[in-house]
Structure 1
Amino acid sequence: MAVTCCNFTQASSGFIKLQEYIQLQSNFTRCQQRQTCSVEKVFHRRYGGRLQVERWDRYKHVLCARGVELSPSVVGDSGEETEEDISKETLIWRAIKLPIYSVAFVPLTVGSAAAYLQTGIFSARCYIVLLASSVLVITWLNLSNDVYDFDTGVDKNKKESVVNLVGSRTGTSIAAYLCLALGFIGLTWTAVAKKNMSSMLFLVCAIICGYIYQCPPFRLSYQGLGEPLCFAAFGPFATTAFYLLHGSSSVMNHFPLSGTVLSASILVGLTTSLILFCSHFHQVEGDKEVGKMSPLVRLGTKKGAQVVKGAVLMLYALLVAFGLSKELPFTCVFLCSLTLPMGNLVIRFVEDNHKDKNKIFMAKYFCVRLHALFGVALALGFVLARNTTFTSWPILS
C-alpha cells in the first residue's frame, strides 16, 4: 500500500513512529477507495491537527496537501476539474444542449393548451409535426450561433463549441441551414394544411428575430439586444403562432386572438429570456475581449444577479396580476405558483455563485428547469380549466 507524493517533514519527529505511520497509510487507502474527486480532512488525535488529503480520480493517486502544491492546470483552486480535464463525452453533451430544447417544447405546449381551452380540440399529429419542426429550427439557432461566434473569436476557448469539436466551420454551417430549411418546410406544411397562413406571419417573425440575433451583418446579441429578441421570438410570436395553428381546427371561421394566450406568451417569453441571460454569467471575460456587449458585460455579475432576482419576482407578480384580471384561469395561477421553490432556487444559486465561473455555469440549467416546469404547469392549467366556467375574451378576431 505504497503512498505517493507524501511529505512528512512538516510534522514533528514523533509523527513517524511505526504505529502512526501505519494509521496514516490506512487513512490514505480509505481515501483511494472513494469513487469521486474529494478533499478528505483526517483528524490526528495526538497532534490536534488535520491532514488534508486531496485525490484526483483521473490519475488514481493520492496527494498529501502538506508540502505539496497542485498545478493550476490540474485542479482548480476549489479542487474542481478545469476545462482541460473535462471528458470528450461531457463536451459533446454540452454541445448538444439537450435541455435547451425545452424552448421548442414549452411555447408549442402552452399554445396548444390555450387553443384546447377555447375549442376542446387537440391534434396529436399536428403537435408532433410542429414539435419536430421547432426542434430543427432550434438546432439551426444553436449551430449557427456556434458558427458566427467562431468567426468573431468569442468561442476560441469554448471547447464545447460544435465547430471546435467537429473541426469544420463550413460543415457546421451547412448542417445548420439544412435544419432551418427542413424545419421551415414542416411549419409551412402545417399552416397550409390548417388553412391558417396568418400563423406563418408570427413564425416568420420569430425566425427573423433568431437571425438578426446572431447572424451578420446584424449580430444584435453583440449589442446586448439578445434578451428582448428572445422574449419576442419565443413568447408573443411562437406561442401565439402555435395557438393559431391548433385553433384553426375549430369550426369557427375566424379563430380569435385572446388576452389569455397573450398573457401566457408573455410569461413564456420571460422564462425563456431568463435562460439566455444566465448563460452569459460564465462568459463575461470572453465576451468582453471580443467586444460582445452582453447585458452582463455592461452590468457586471453582481448587478446581473439582482436582475435575475427581479425577473423571477416579476414572473410571479405577472402571474398573479393576470389571474386577478381574469386573463388566466385560477388553475394556471395555482399550478404555476407551485414552481415557486424552483424560482427561489434560481435566485439563491445566482446570488451565491455569480463570481464563481465553475459553478455559475449551471445557472442556465436551473433556469431551464424553471422554464420547463412553469410551462408545463401553465399548459396543464389550461387543460383543467376546460371543464370550468372560465371564459377567454377575444381581443382580435
Structure 2
Amino acid sequence: MTLPTVDQQIDSTRKALWLAAIKPPMYSVAIIPILVGSLLAYGETGVLNGRILAIFLLSAVLLLMWENLSNDVYDADTGIDKNKHHSLVNLTQNQSLIFWLGNLSLGLGVAGVLSITLIQQDFTVLGLILICCALGYIYQGPPFRLGYQGLGEPLCFLSFTLGVAAAYYAQAQTFSLGCWGLGAMVGMATTLVLFCSHFHQVKDDVAAGKCSPIVRIGTLGGAKLLPYLCGSIFVILLGGLATGIFSPSLALVLASAPFAVQLCRHVMRYHDQPQLVQNAKFVAIRFQFCCGILICLALLLSAGLQSI
C-alpha cells in the first residue's frame, strides 16, 4: 500500500478547505424557495414562465453567494473567524478581493431580478427581493450586525419566507395563503441551518462578543429547543392540510420527518462536543433539501392530477 506524501496530504487538505469555504450544499437554500413559490403558482394558475424561473434561480444563487462572501468579510473585521480555516478571507488572505466579488454577485443578482421587473412592468418582486437583501445586510453588516445580537434567525426566517412569496408573485402576479404557508415552512427549514451552525463555535462567538441563540441559552438549551423548531414545520403543514389551504398531495412532505428526527438526535447527543456537532448544519441542510424537494414533488403531483 502506498501512503500519501506530505505534499499530497497538504493538497488534499486545501481542497477540503476550499470546498468547505465555497459551501456547494448551501446553495440548495437559494434554489428551494424559488422552486417552491414557482411550482405553487403553476399548480394554482396552470402557468409557468420558464424564462422568469431560470432568471430567478440564477439571481437567487448570486444573492446567496453575496451573502456568504460578505459574511466572511464582515466576520474578518470582528475577528470571529480567526480560527475558521475555511473562511475565504483566510484562504485567500485578500479581504478586499472577497468584498468586491461579493458586491459583483449582489449587483448581478439584483440585475437579474430587475430584468424580471422590466419584463412584467411590476416592481413588487424587486421590492420584496430588495427587502431580503436589506435583511441580509443588517444581519451581518456594520453598523447593525444584528446577528451578533442573536437576531439572525428571525431575519433569516423572514427573508426566506419573502423569497417564496416573491417567486410565487413572479409567476402569478398575486399572493395566496398557500404561498405564505409554504413560505413559512421553507423559511423555518432554512433557519434551522443557521441555528445549527452555532453549536460548535460557542467559544469563538463569546470571544468576539457575538450573542448567538446558543450563546444565550447554552448548547443543551438549544438542543432541547430544536425539536420544537423542527416540529413547527409539520404543525404548519398539518394545519394547511386540515384547512384545505394546502393540496392533499403535500402530505408527502411528512416523509421528511425522519430527517428532522435524525437532526434532533444528532444535536442532542453531541451538542457540547464541538468536533462532533460541527456537521449539524449539514444535517440540517439535508433536512431542508429533503423537505423542499418533497414540497416540489407534491406540487408537481397536484398540478398533474388537476390536468387529468
Q: TM-score range by the shorter chain?
A: over 0.9
Partner of 2:170: 245
Alignment deviations for residues 175-222 of structure 1 (CA, whole Å, 9 cap, x no partner)? 111110011001110121122311212111111100100000100000
In the alignment, is residue 298 of structure 1 matched against residue 298 of structure 2?
Answer: no
Alignment deviations for residues 246-273 of structure 1 (CA, whole Å, 9 cap, x no partner)? 12xxxxxxx4311111100000100010
Moved over 4 A (4+): 57-60
User: What SS class does the counterpart of residue 300 from structure 1 fall into?
Assistant: helix
TM-score by length of 2: 0.94
Unaligned runs of 5+ in 1: 1-32, 36-56, 61-83, 248-254, 390-397
* Alpha-carbon contact 1:112-1:242 (below 8 Å) kept: yes
Alignment deviations for residues 133-170 of structure 1 (CA, whole Å, 9 cap, x no partner)? 11111111001000000000000111000000000111
Residues in 2 aligned to 1:125 and 1:150: alpha-carbon distance in whole angstroms: 38
Which of 299, 314, 331 is the equivalent residue of 2:249? 331
Partner of 1:182: 108
Partner of 2:133: 207
In the alignment, is residue 309 of structure 1 matched against residue 227 of structure 2?
Answer: yes
Partner of 1:373: 290
In the alignment, is residue 107 of structure 1 matched against residue 33 of structure 2?
Answer: yes
1:10-49, aligned counterparts within 5 Å?
none
Task: Using the TM superposition, give the Cα deviation of residue 382 of structure 1 relative to its aligned residue in structure 2, in angstroms.
Answer: 1.8
Residues in 1 aligned to 2:167 and 2:122: alpha-carbon distance in whole angstroms: 11
Partner of 1:346: 263
Q: Which has the higher contact order (CA 8 A, sep 6+)?
A: 2
* Alpha-carbon contact 2:38-2:48 (below 8 Å) kept: yes
* Alpha-carbon contact 2:113-2:125 (below 8 Å) kept: no
Residues in 1 aligned to 2:45 and 2:233: alpha-carbon distance in whole angstroms: 27
* Alpha-carbon contact 1:196-1:245 (below 8 Å) kept: no
- Coordinate RMSD, CA, aligned: 2.0
Q: Which amino acid aligns with 2:43?
A: L
Higher share of residues assigned helix: 2
Residues in 2 aligned to 1:58 and 1:293: alpha-carbon distance in whole angstroms: 42
| Equivalences, count | 305
1:93-104, aligned counterparts within 5 Å?
93-104=19-30
Comparing 119-128 with 184-193, greater Cα deviation is found at 119-128
Partner of 1:289: 207
In the alignment, is residue 87 of structure 1 matched against residue 13 of structure 2?
Answer: yes
Alignment deviations for residues 253-297 of structure 1 (CA, whole Å, 9 cap, x no partner)? xx4311111100000100010000001111111000010000000
Q: Percent identity?
A: 36
Which of 71, 76, 79 is the equivalent residue of 1:150? 76
Residues in 2 aligned to 1:59 and 1:307: alpha-carbon distance in whole angstroms: 45
Q: Which amino acid aligns with 2:205?
A: D
Residues in 2 aligned to 1:176 and 1:224: alpha-carbon distance in whole angstroms: 24
Q: Which amino acid aligns with 1:276?
A: L
Q: Which amino acid aligns with 2:296?
A: A
Partner of 1:277: 195
Residues in 2 aligned to 1:190 and 1:256: alpha-carbon distance in whole angstroms: 15
Higher share of residues assigned strand: 1
Residues in 1 aligned to 2:151 and 2:279: alpha-carbon distance in whole angstroms: 23
Q: Which amino acid aligns with 2:293?
A: V
User: What SS class does the counterpart of residue 111 from structure 2 fall into?
Assistant: helix
Alignment deviations for residues 45-82 of structure 1 (CA, whole Å, 9 cap, x no partner)? xxxxxxxxxxxx7789xxxxxxxxxxxxxxxxxxxxxx
Unaligned runs of 5+ in 2: none
Partner of 1:79: none
Residues in 2 aligned to 1:213 and 1:234: alpha-carbon distance in whole angstroms: 13
Residues in 1 aligned to 2:176 and 2:55: alpha-carbon distance in whole angstroms: 24
Higher alpha-carbon Rg:
1
Partner of 2:65: 139
Residues in 2 aligned to 1:283 and 1:331: alpha-carbon distance in whole angstroms: 40
